[in-house]
Structure 1
Amino acid sequence: MDVALVNPFIEGTLHILDTTALVKVKPGPPFLKVNTDHNGDISGILSVEGDLEATVAISFTEKSILGIVSAMFGEEMTEINEEIIDAVGEISNMIAGQVTTKIGDIGKKVKVKFVEVVTGRNKEILHTQSGSHVVGIPFHTTKGKVLLEVCYSDQNS
């Protein structure tokens, strides 16, 4: 897996969480994910098409998303509800925009789009069938844990 193609997802996630919610984020060491378990309470799912074909999940624990959205809205959020689901969709959309720009900067043409929000720990996160591996990048934030999963197939390597 080419790190240059994973970095835009890391950078986009860091940028959006820092600028929209003023949440300080520190990425942890990446790892190879070997199952389809949902490693959060709520996730935004993105798809990438073009020179790079990928699926991406941005997963939040309940604690982290409530803290992040509380910081974004300026009011305390206490449960995962429609507002939180909408906020995860909006965060995912903003990350998609950042990633599209950053991948374009390295000479690839892609369209990154938000697909859906998945809630509940008993759900699976199914990634693109053409990707061979899923890289997980854990983030430690001032609000709790976030996990970024990236699975891609480079169409023009």
Structure 2
Amino acid sequence: MNVEFVNPFLSSLVNVLSTMAQTELKPGKARVKTDEVARGDVSGLIGMVGPQVKGSFSISFDEQIALEVMNRMLGEKPDKINEEVTDMVGEITNMVCGGAKNLLGEKGYDFDMATPIVVSGKGHTIKHKSEGKKISMPFESDIGVINIEVCFDK
């Protein structure tokens, strides 16, 4: 997979979490992911399609991290993952993908974004519909680890 497609998602994630949740992220080591099991308790997944490229992006949070991000963003901290938390994860997924879309647009790549899907529960799966390799990368913060996956057909 072309790193030119991945880096805008990394930059956008760091920007969104820093701006919206006052959370600084430190990128970990990227790897090719070969299974479909999510690395978290709640995940947002969004598909993208355009004339030059097709792919998807996901972000996964452990429960305690999702709850603390909600606390930092909205000033409320539920006891468990609920509808408000899944809505927040969907919105973060949308914001990160939108930021990446803008960065990729500056390089001449255009695509439309689908509505994010949010899945929660221990051991849930994420199915990327693109034929390309899935790149997974953890991001460490003071509240734990957030994992993203990027998959493009190029």
TM-score, scaled relative to structure 2:
0.94
Opposite residue 65 of structure 1, the aligned amino acid is A
Report the counterpart of residue 17 of structure 2 in structure 1. Answer: 17
Shift of 1:142: 1.8
In the alignment, is the contact (CA less than 8 A) between 2:59 and 2:147 conserved in 1? yes
Report the counterpart of residue 27 of structure 2 in structure 1. Answer: 27
> Residues 19-46 of structure 1: CA distance to partner in whole angstroms, max 9, x if unpaired?
0111111110101111111211000001
> Residues 56-84 of structure 1: CA distance to partner in whole angstroms, max 9, x if unpaired?
11000111111111100123332111110
In the alignment, is the contact (CA less than 8 A) between 2:66 and 2:85 conserved in 1? yes
Runs of 4+ in structure 1 over 3 Å off: none
Report the counterpart of residue 124 of structure 1 in structure 2. Answer: 125
Report the counterpart of residue 74 of structure 1 in structure 2. Answer: 75
Report the counterpart of residue 148 of structure 1 in structure 2. Answer: 148
Larger relative strand fraction = 1
Report the counterpart of residue 41 of structure 2 in structure 1. Answer: 41
In the alignment, is the contact (CA less than 8 A) between 1:96 and 1:114 conserved in 2? no
How many residue pairs get aligned? The number is 153
Distance 1:144 1:31 in 2: 19
TM-score, scaled relative to structure 1:
0.92
Q: Which moved more, 1:47-56 or 1:113-122?
A: 113-122
Opposite residue 20 of structure 2, the aligned amino acid is T
Shift of 1:4: 1.1
Q: Give structure 1 stretches of 5+ with no counterpart.
A: none
> Residues 79-130 of structure 1: CA distance to partner in whole angstroms, max 9, x if unpaired?
1111101111111111121011011011111123333101012321111242
Q: Give structure 2 stretches of 5+ with no counterpart.
A: none
In the alignment, is the contact (CA less than 8 A) between 2:47 and 2:114 conserved in 1? yes
SS for the counterpart of 2:147 is strand
Distance 2:115 2:97 in 1: 7
In the alignment, is the contact (CA less than 8 A) between 2:57 and 2:97 conserved in 1? no
In the alignment, is the contact (CA less than 8 A) between 1:8 and 1:103 conserved in 2? yes
Q: Is 2:59 the counterpart of 1:94?
A: no
- Output the aligned Cα RMSD: 1.2
Distance 1:152 1:18 in 2: 26
